[in-house]
Structure 1
Amino acid sequence: MRGQIKIILGVSAMLALGACEKGTIESWTFSEAGSFLDEGSFGNPTMNNLLVQTGQKSYVISLNERFSREIQPNINFEFNSSVLDVAAQSTLRLQADWIKQFPEVRFKVFGHTDLVGSNSYNKRLGLRRARAAVNFLVSQGISRSRLEAVVSYGESRPVVATETRERRNRRTITEVSGFVKNAPQLLNGKYAEVVFREYIASGAPASDLALYGSISAE
C-alpha cells in the first residue's frame, strides 16, 4: 500500500513539474496582472512584485494590447531576406508614429523565420530581420535606447507549422516591453491623464492644436 502511495505521489510531482515547465513568459499577457512570477533569479520576483504593486505591469499589458489593436504589430519578409519591402516600411512608419506618442515606453522587436534551413542559420536570419526593423524605426525618429532589445526566435515559433516556405512565418513583431530607465513615475493617476492628453493631441488637426493646448493648460 505504501509503495502505491509513493508511486502516486511521484507521478503527481512529475506532472506538476511538467506543467510548470510549459509556462512561458508570454503567458502573463493573457491573464490577470501579477499571475506570472519569474523565478529566474533572486531579483526577478521582487521586480515582478514592484511592477504589479505600482501598476506598471498591468499598464504595459494593456498598452501592448492597445498597440496591437490600433497598429499592425508585425511585418513580413521575402524568403531568406531581411530587406524591408514597401509594405513593411509603410507599417513601420505607422508603428513609429504610434510609438512617438509614448516617450516613456520601451519596445522590443522579435525576429522570426519559416522552418526552411538550419535552426542556427534561421536564428541569425531572425536577428537580421529584427535589426532591420529597429534601424528603420530609428530612422523615423525613435531613440534606439527605447528599443530595449532585439530578439530572434528563429524558426521556433511559427504561425503556420509547415516545413515549406511560408511568408506568414517570416516576420518581425513589435511589442510594448516596459518603461524607459528613470522615466517619471506618474502612476498615481496622473500618468493615464498625460498619455490620454498626448494621444488626443496627436490626432487633432493643426488648426485645433492651439485651442486644445489652451484648454489642457487649465
Structure 2
Amino acid sequence: MIGRHRQESAAAFVMLAFLAGCTTPPDRIILLPDPEGKVGAVIVRSATGQQTIDKAYAGVDVTKGGAIEKTMDSQSSVQARYSQLLAARPPRPRTFTVFFLFDSATDLAPESFATVKELKTVLATWPAPQLVVVGHTDLAGSQEFDDRLSIRRAETVAALLIKQGIPARQIETASRGKREPLVHTADGVPNRMNRRVVITIQ
C-alpha cells in the first residue's frame, strides 16, 4: 500500500511523491526501472477506478476523491525534480557467490579471490549492511556430511566478513547442504559450481 492506493508490481520500482502548489495535492506514483533497466508493471487502484503503468517514468496522479490521471516524465526530469527522494532510497540487495575447493570448508577456489575483493569494496560504502550467508555443497557426500560441510563454509565466510569490520549481529548464517545445487547432477557426483557460499547484502 502507498497512500490510499493498492499497487501490484513485478520487478517494479515505485516512487511516491507529493506535488507542491495545491491545497490538497494529489499523490503522484512514478514507475522507475531497476538498476539493469528492466521495468515491471504496477496497478494503481482507488475508490473510483484503476490504472496500469508499465513504462519507465510513467506515472499517475491520484486525487483525494480517487480520480486517477496518467502522467509521463523523462528520466532527467524525474532525477532533477526528485533528486533528494532518489538519494534517500536504500541500496538494492546485492548477491555474491564464492566457491570452495573439494571437501574444504576453508579453502576458496582461485576464481573466488576477485569476488572477495569486489565484496570488500561494496561493503566499504554500504550503510549498515545486513548479510545473509548460505553454505552449499556438491552432491558427492552423504546428507549428514554435506550439512556439516556447508555450515562450516558459511561460518568461514562469516568470519571473513567480521574480519572486515562487519558486526557479527549483522550476519545471519545458514546452510543448505546438497539440497539446492546450482548445477544438477546425479547423487554422488562432484561439481565445482555447487561447492559455494552465497552472500546477500541487504
Per the alignment, in what secondary structure is the counterpart of residue 165 of structure 2?
coil
Task: Give 5+ residue unaligned stretches, structure 1.
Answer: 1-29, 34-58, 178-218
Per the alignment, in what secondary structure is the counterpart of residue 201 of structure 2?
strand
Which of the two has greater strand per residue?
2
Which of the two has greater helix per residue?
1
Question: Percent same amino acid at aligned positions?
Answer: 27
Give the counterpart letter for 1:172 in structure 2: V
TM-score normalised to the size of structure 2? 0.51
Distance 1:76 1:134 in 2: 14
Matches within 5 A, 1:28-67: 63-64=92-93, 67=94
Contact kept? 1:93, 1:140, Cα under 8 Å: no
Q: Which one of 100, 118, 140 corresponds to residue 142 of structure 2? A: 118
Distance 2:152 2:142 in 1: 15
Q: Which one of 172, 176, 182 corresponds to residue 201 of structure 2? A: 176
Distance 1:108 1:100 in 2: 17
Residue 150 in structure 1 maps to residue 173 in structure 2: yes
Matches within 5 A, 1:46-195: 63-64=92-93, 67-68=94-95, 73-85=96-108, 86-147=110-171, 149-163=172-186, 164-177=189-202
Distance 1:138 1:105 in 2: 12
Name which structure has the greater RCO, CA cutoff 8 Å, separation 6+: 1
Task: Give 5+ residue unaligned stretches, structure 2.
Answer: 1-9, 14-88
Q: Alignment length, in residue pairs?
A: 117
**Offset of 1:114 from its aligned partner?**
0.4
> Larger Cα Rg: Structure 1 or Structure 2?
2
Distance 1:133 1:126 in 2: 11
Structure 1 segments, 4+ long, off by >4 Å, are 30-33
Distance 1:87 1:140 in 2: 20
Calculate the aligned-residue CA RMSD, in Å: 2.6
